[in-house]
Every structure is written in structure tokens, then in C-alpha cells.
Structure 1
Amino acid sequence: MEVLYRSTRGQGGEVKASQAILKGLADDGGLFVPTTIPKLEVSVNELSKMTYQEVAYEVMKLYFTDFTEEELKNCINKAYDSKFDTEEIAPLAEVDGAYYLELFHGATIAFKDMALSILPHLLTTSAKKNDVKNEIVILTATSGDTGKAALAGFADVKGTRIVVFYPHGGVSPIQEKQMVTQKGDNTFVVAINGNFDQAQSGVKAIFGNKELAKEMDEKGFQFSSANSINIGRLIPQVAYYVYAYAKLFAEGKVAKDEKINVVVPTGNFGNILAAYYAKNMGLPIDKLVCASNDNKVLYDFFETGCYDRNREFILTNSPSMDILISSNLERLIYKIAENDSEKNAELMAELAKDGKYTITDSMRKQLADFYGNYATEAETTEEIKRVYDKTGYIMDTHTAVASCVYGKYKKDTNDDKVTVIASTASPFKFTRSVMNAINPAYDKLGDFELVDELSKIGNVKVPNAIEEIRNAEIRHNNLCNVDEMESVVKKFLNM
């Protein structure tokens, strides 16, 4: 069955998967959603005998229906290869009564690798399928992890260029060094004087500039996105929830059709939305636990039905979640509005104008799948220390937010179902915050001394992603204001 894509805001008709991947954002500013969420075609018993690559194919073929089997398998095999430091790609670690789905074994040690290692291949295949002659310019805002994962994925990929904007002072030192040392003649990294939401809004404004698009086309360029707004980012994330369940079944941790809960640390809402799609495909997931940090706009939304970004933006030690505009939530809003694009467009217009919107009572009733809560900075720190002291397992700050919120969920509900917690980044990416949580005395050590100490006390090898930046030269030293973002892009493209 062919799955087509339409905008959440109703304009532009239906497009094929490859066209939605190429465009990234719909022309009306909406996000592409599948016209139907397909059901899994293979049993959990069959899935449990498959490799990660095989499970990924079984999921993605249902959504990317205009890709041939050869095209899609080629993309998958190029993505999930020796760039990952474990054969399983996404192993499960049983720790303290939960299963941590380790999504950080790729080239940049964050969960974004799971989708951004395949997106360049999906994009270049899509370009060929649609006879695109223009060079594709990937334009991305990052709160820390997307940037490096996208840069690593697209570096020196023929027919592409990539520009990444990140908030100056708003990412961890390791995240920043990973980006500013990025090699590749087609890469460009720029810090902005502002926060992530401003970077993301700036990127969206560039995408929405019709005159610029015309000028770009004349010069042989066209924009696409590597942010989680791109459906080519979202669908590969669905695969790892299916794989996690199949693995639990294979190991006898769950019986056939036994429901599990999934906990996801969430900023832009893409990672938990992927779990929601997996549930809608028939995967036996009960509760989707949405974990926020001090920027708890999503927690407040699930509590009240009102999404309100009019609040202080707080810089935390889990910076990839320091977000007040959760772009992917629009896909959920569209779905709970019964696919009513007019209603969704009206709410998004309210968000743009007033910074907030309130959903209807009937829409709220459809949020029963979700539970929201948050962890403060102090609670996040305490959770890292608690789990380390009890088990020796070291988690990063974002995973600690999820772990802490899972504790609150259990206390609130007494629900003891088998639970998968999305572990979204390696602790090596946030060494100072992690090591200070374990013992504040570590703060006197330098960044790479902390790396070596973490390796020692956690009995884990330093990832290659960290080793390669120890002495790497700074290649990108750019800083601009938000209102200069468009001119910076044009300068990079020699326009």
C-alpha cells in the first residue's frame, strides 16, 4: 500500500515520501505527516530473530513506499555499519529495574546518529529519484547534538552542503568542540548570539523566504532540513523502539503482546513522537512518559492542555532539551485534531502570534497515552549519583532526566510494567556535569582529564568521537546575530 504525505497545515496536496524528504518543511510552514500510519507486517517472533538493519527495513519500507527494496536496503546498510561501536547498533542495558536503550553508539555518541546516519543517503537517493539537478543545502539549527550528527552524516557527501547554527554558550564544551572541528569542504558551522529557539526560528524564516528560494534556484541550490521536522529523520527513529521490543521478547523479558512503557527525555518532541508512531503501528506500548527538564513547557501542556512558551528560557546541564518551541508537537496536535489541518493551522497561528494555544477538551482526551513530568537541575544531578552509587552505571544528564521522571511516574501510578528508557547521549558528551554529579571534587580537572577519569571509574572505553577531538584544530570560528543568519548563509554559498 502506498503511503503519501501531506502538510499538517493543509496546503499543497499529497506528495511521495522522497518528495517530503527532499523538501523537509512543507511550503505552508507545516510538517509532513503520513496520510496513514501503517501496521507492522511481521510478527514479534519474526522481528526477534532479525538484526537491527533488518528490523529497520521492515519499519521503513512501510513509510518510504516509493523507494525500491534495493534503494532502501542500500541506504540502511550504508548508515548502520562500522560507524557504530557495537554490532547491535542500539543495545539494551538492564539497570536498576529498567532497560536503558543505548542510542549513543554512533559516530557522534548521541541518539541523533540513529537517524542522521541514514538521512544523507535517503536525501541523495530522493534527489536522484526526482531528477533534482540542484545542489542540496542542508540548513539546521541545533541545541547541541543534531548539529554534529548532521555534519558527520553530510561531510563531503557529493551534491550537498550543510550549514549548522548553534546558540553561543548554550551547548556543552564537548558538543561545541565536536562541531567547530568538523572536517569537510561542504560544512559550515556558525554560533549565534541567542538561544536555540531563536536559531530554530531563524532557520524556519530562511526556509519560508520565497524570494530567497527563487534566488537559490537560479544559482543551482535548494534548501532541505536535517532537523527532526524532516520526515526522513522521524521514521528511522521509529525503528529502534520496534527493535527494543523485539529484543526484550527474544530475551524472554516480555511475553507476546505484553505491554511495556517507554520513557523519553524530550525537547523538540521528535523522539517520543517516534515511539507514539510505533505504538500506532501496533507495537505493544502502554504509556509514553514524556520527561522534561526545567524548561517544562511540555509537562505544563500535558497537565493543562495549554502550550505556552511565554516564560524564562533556562540554561540547564541537559542543553539538548533547552527548548520552548517543540516543533514536532505539531504532528501530534494534527493527529489529535482528527487530522483537521484548519484547526491545527489556527493553533499554530496563535502560537506564532501570542506564544501560546489551548487545545479542545476532545483533543485532550486523546492524550491519554502520555504522562508528563520533569526533573529539576538538582534532581538530575542526584539521579546520576544515585544510579552510579547503586549500580556503577554512568548515564548522561538527559538520560538522568528520563530516569528521574520514571521514578516519579512509578511513585504516582504504582505501574511496574517492563520499561524502556531512551538513553539519548553518552556520558562522555557531558563529562563535567556528569562527573561533578558523582563527586564535585572532579570540577578542578580539565575537560579531557575528566574524560579519562570517567573511563576509569565507569570501566568504559573512551569513544572514538572523543578521542578524535582531543587535539583537533578549530576549523569553524564564526559568530553572528540572529538577524544576520540569512546573509551568512548567502556568503557561504557565494551568492
Structure 2
Amino acid sequence: METLYRSTRETASHTMTSSQAVLQGLTPDGGLFVPFELPQANFDFDQLATMSYPEVAYEVLKLFFTDYTDAELHACIDAAYGDQFDDPAIVPVTKHGEQYYLELFHGPTIAFKDLALQILPHLMTTAAKKNHLDRDVVILTATSGDTGKAAMAGFADVEQTKIIVFYPKDGVSAIQKQQMVTQVGDNTYVVAINGNFDEAQTKVKELLNDSQLHAELANHQFQFSSANSINIGRLFPQVAYYVYAYAQLIHQGQIKNGASVNFSVPTGNFGDILAGYYAKQLGTPIHKLICASNRNNVLTDFFNTGTYDKNRQFYLTSSPSMDILVSSNLERLVFYLTGSDPVATKRLMTDLQTNGSYTISPAMRANLTDFWAGFVTEKQDQAAIHHLYDAHHYAIDPHTAVATAVADQYRQATRDERPMVIVSTASPYKFPHAVLTAITGAPVTVDGLSAVDQLHALIETPIPATVEALRTAPVRHKRVTDPAAMGTTIKSILNLN
């Protein structure tokens, strides 16, 4: 059965194929693409347990990208998941203490975004050929730290594409910033903004829906798309690692086929945990998806009260990829909570835009039983890093620590003893200052590569190649702008002025 896509904010009369939705990125009405009908899966997890990650990815992605041929999809997957990962399992599942860690940081930028952003360029260039696109695609992306580097690593020097990344100047780690400003590729552009991620993301979405700017781009043979998780080519590849993780627990003899497990997910823009929700809808035996937040706990309040309210203090934390108050992908879940009602969804999203908040109905709230939500302070985050290293000599980054600490909250609150999988989203070497501070319990006066060296001396695990390369990589990107001037900056980069 073909999977077609519709907007969360428009009647289902307008649909697109998967390749068209990948190219478009965002729907013309400002909504997000969702499947017209969720695909039906009939996974044999005993068989999946014997498969490699690329093989499992194919079984998942063929359900969502139905207008790609088998040969096209295999070519995209083979190009995405190969030697650029430093572990042959691609996403190994390891056990430390009583918890399992789904390690998503073995790709070229040592963060979970690689699992989607290594395949997105191949999905997009294949889609361009299938749809006879005669324009260059301009990838417009806001990043809270990881998406930008991973997207550029995927799209660098890909024909008929340009990628422009905006990041908060003071809102990423030293290593994240260094990774971005040294990015190579004649088609890559990095711009710091004097603001936070929410301001960057809001402006990017506004520009993606700017009809006048679209016309100017078309006149110069350009077309916008996005590499953020609002793009289905970013979102649905993430479903595969939930399915693979469950199959690997069977393969390792940790569970029997059919036993349910929990996943604790460090959550900011809601894309990663939404992928887990889709995995559950496809039949993966997931009991609870635990939405783990830092002090920017807007999602915790939403799940526990039914009100989403971004009108609150914004905190810069040691888990910057989660420093977000407007979680774009939550719109897709809200759409399902309304019973797939685009009018109701649009009304709630309009409330968010105009008032900064919305409240779902009691009936909608009753459908949130797949989720449990909690948040932790910086002190609790550091304690989780310290405890796991002290007890098991296993170092985790601050985002993974948030998920670990909230998983502990969940178990204490519910007494649920099901196997717990922590979604480990980044290497500790991406946040060396925070990890060192937590493990040693002492002030750390260095950051960046000096902190990497100190962390390496302590934990004695290999420094990733992508971090080692930063020692000699020249800074290539020095642009800084205000959020209001992002459109002007884009025009300057593309020579539209």
C-alpha cells in the first residue's frame, strides 16, 4: 500500500508522495507532513534480531517511503550506514548496571542526528531526480547544537544542494561550535545568531513559508527545504533504531519476543521521542516512552497538565540540544490526539503562536498514556553522570544523563521493573567540560580540546576522529546576525540582492 502524506493543518484532499514531501520539507500552510494513514507493519522480531542495522532500516523505511524503488532505497541505506560509523553495529546496545544504553553517537559527528542526516541527502537527491527537479535545493536549518553539524556533514558538496545553518552564538558547547565553524564543503554556510534556538527555529519556519522569498528563490533557480526533524526524511529514519534496539535485546537474550520495554529519551524538539511513538504504532512492544527534559521543562508540564506554555524563563544548560521552549514535532502528536483533525490542530498551533500557549481537552489528554514525563536540574544531571561513572566506569554526556535521571524518577514513581533503554544521544567528548565537572566534582577551568584531553586521560576511551580533526581544522565560517536579519543573510549568501 502506498503511503501518502498530508498536512497537520489542512484537509486531506491535498496529498503528496513521500519523495515530494522530502523535497518540500514543510507544508505550504505551515503545518507538518504526516502519513495520510499510518503504514501497517508485521514485524517478525525473531527474524529482525538476526539482521544488521541497514537490513532493519530497510524493513522500516520501505513502509514510509513507498514511491522509492527497492533499489533506490537500498542505495540510500547502503550509502548512509557504512564505514563512516566507528562501530560495525552502527547503534550498539550496551548494558551498564540495570539499564541498557542505545548508543547513537558512533557516526561522523558523534551525535544521534547522524542516523537520520547521513541518509537524508541521499533521499533528497533521489527525490529530486524522481520529480525532475531542475532547481538547486537550499537546505535551511536551525540547530541547538547537533543538527547543524550532522546536516552539513551529510550535505557537504552534494550536487544541486546548498545548506545554511543558524545556531545560537552563546547556546552550544565549545566542541559543537568548533565542529560547525570548521565545516568544509563549498555548499555549506554557518551563521551564528544573537539569540536562542527558539528564535532561530521560529524565523526559519517563517522564512520557509515566506511566499515572496520563495518567488525570489525560484527566479534564481533555487528551492527551499529543511534538514530539521520537521522533514519526514529526517524523522522516519529515526524509527529504525527503536525497532533495531528491541530486536537486539532479543538477540542478546535479555528479553523474549513480545516482552514490553521502556525507552527514556532526552527530549527537546520532540523528533526523537516521536520516532519512538511511530515505532510503537508499528508494533514494537514499547510500554512507555519517557520524555526526559532539563530545566526547560515545557514538555514535562504539557504531559502532566495538558497545557503547553512557552511563556517562561529560558535557561542555558549543560544539555544545550534540549534548551528549547517550542517543540516543533509535538504538533504531529497533537494532530493524532485531535483524532487527525486539521482544523483543531491549526487552532491550537495558532494559539501557541499568538498567545504562547494552548491547552488540550481532557479527551485528548486521556490519549497520552504512551508517555511519562519528568525533568531534572543541573545538579541532578551531574549526579547521574557521576554515579554511572563511579559505579560502572561508563561515561555519558549530559543529555544522556537527563534521560538516565528521569528514568530513575519513573521507576521510583511507578515501581515498573520492565527493561529500561536509555537513548544515548551524544558522545561524552562532545561536552567534555560538563562531563569532567560531573565526574570529578571539582571546578574545571578548561574547555574545548583541552577539556577533551583531560577527559580522555580520565575515562581512557578513544577520542573520536571527528574531534581529533578539530586540532588542525581552520575556522571557515564567521558570520553573525540577528534573528530579524536572517532573511537578508540568506539573500546575501545566495547572491539574491
| TM-score above 0.5 | yes
C-alpha distance in 2 between matches for 1:446 and 1:148: 19
CA contact (8 A) 2:166 2:193 kept: yes
CA contact (8 A) 1:442 1:450 kept: no
Q: Secondary structure at 1:443's aligned position in 2?
A: coil
2:330 paired with 1:336: no
1:53 alignment partner in structure 2 = 54
Q: Deviations over 1:202-251 (max 9, x none)?
A: 10111111011011111100000000000110100000000000000111
Q: CA deviation at 1:440?
A: 4.2
Q: CA deviation at 1:35?
A: 1.4
CA contact (8 A) 2:42 2:283 kept: no
C-alpha distance in 1 between matches for 2:465 and 2:381: 27
Q: CA deviation at 1:37?
A: 1.8
CA contact (8 A) 2:175 2:449 kept: no
Q: Secondary structure at 2:312's aligned position in 1?
A: coil
Unaligned 5+ segments in structure 1 are none
C-alpha distance in 2 between matches for 1:39 and 1:292: 31
2:256 alignment partner in structure 1 = 255
2:462 alignment partner in structure 1 = 461
1:485 alignment partner in structure 2 = 486
Q: Secondary structure at 1:33's aligned position in 2?
A: strand
Letter paired with 2:493: F
C-alpha distance in 2 between matches for 1:472 and 1:211: 38
C-alpha distance in 1 between matches for 2:125 and 2:137: 9
Q: CA deviation at 1:273?
A: 0.3
2:196 paired with 1:200: no
Aligned pairs (5 A) from 1:386-397: 386-397=387-398
Letter paired with 1:23: Q
C-alpha distance in 2 between matches for 1:258 and 1:444: 47
Letter paired with 2:105: F
C-alpha distance in 1 between matches for 2:395 and 2:318: 15
Q: CA deviation at 1:461?
A: 0.4
C-alpha distance in 2 between matches for 1:42 and 1:30: 31
2:274 alignment partner in structure 1 = 273
C-alpha distance in 1 between matches for 2:386 and 2:87: 26
CA contact (8 A) 2:136 2:221 kept: yes
2:422 alignment partner in structure 1 = 421
C-alpha distance in 2 between matches for 1:374 and 1:440: 22
2:95 paired with 1:94: yes
CA contact (8 A) 2:166 2:192 kept: yes
1:116 alignment partner in structure 2 = 117
Unaligned 5+ segments in structure 2 are none
2:33 alignment partner in structure 1 = 32
Aligned pairs (5 A) from 1:52-451: 52-441=53-442, 443-451=444-452
C-alpha distance in 2 between matches for 1:90 and 1:383: 22
Assess, with a 3 A threshold, how the Cα gap between structure 1 residues 230 and 397 changes in structure 2: closer, same or farther: same
C-alpha distance in 1 between matches for 2:66 and 2:239: 16
CA contact (8 A) 2:299 2:308 kept: yes
Q: CA deviation at 1:252?
A: 1.1
Q: Secondary structure at 2:34's aligned position in 1?
A: strand
Letter paired with 1:228: S
Tell me the matched-pair count: 495
Q: CA deviation at 1:463?
A: 0.2
Q: CA deviation at 1:446?
A: 4.8
CA contact (8 A) 1:23 1:223 kept: yes
1:10 alignment partner in structure 2 = 10
Please identify runs of 4+ aligned residues in structure 1 that moved more than 3 A.
Answer: none
Q: CA RMSD in A?
A: 0.9
Assess, with a 3 A threshold, how the Cα gap between structure 1 residues 450 and 304 changes in structure 2: closer, same or farther: same
Q: Deviations over 1:309-349 (max 9, x none)?
A: 00011000000000000000000000011100100000000
Q: CA deviation at 1:131?
A: 0.4
C-alpha distance in 2 between matches for 1:110 and 1:295: 21
Q: CA deviation at 1:39?
A: 2.8
Q: CA deviation at 1:441?
A: 3.9
C-alpha distance in 1 between matches for 2:447 and 2:242: 37
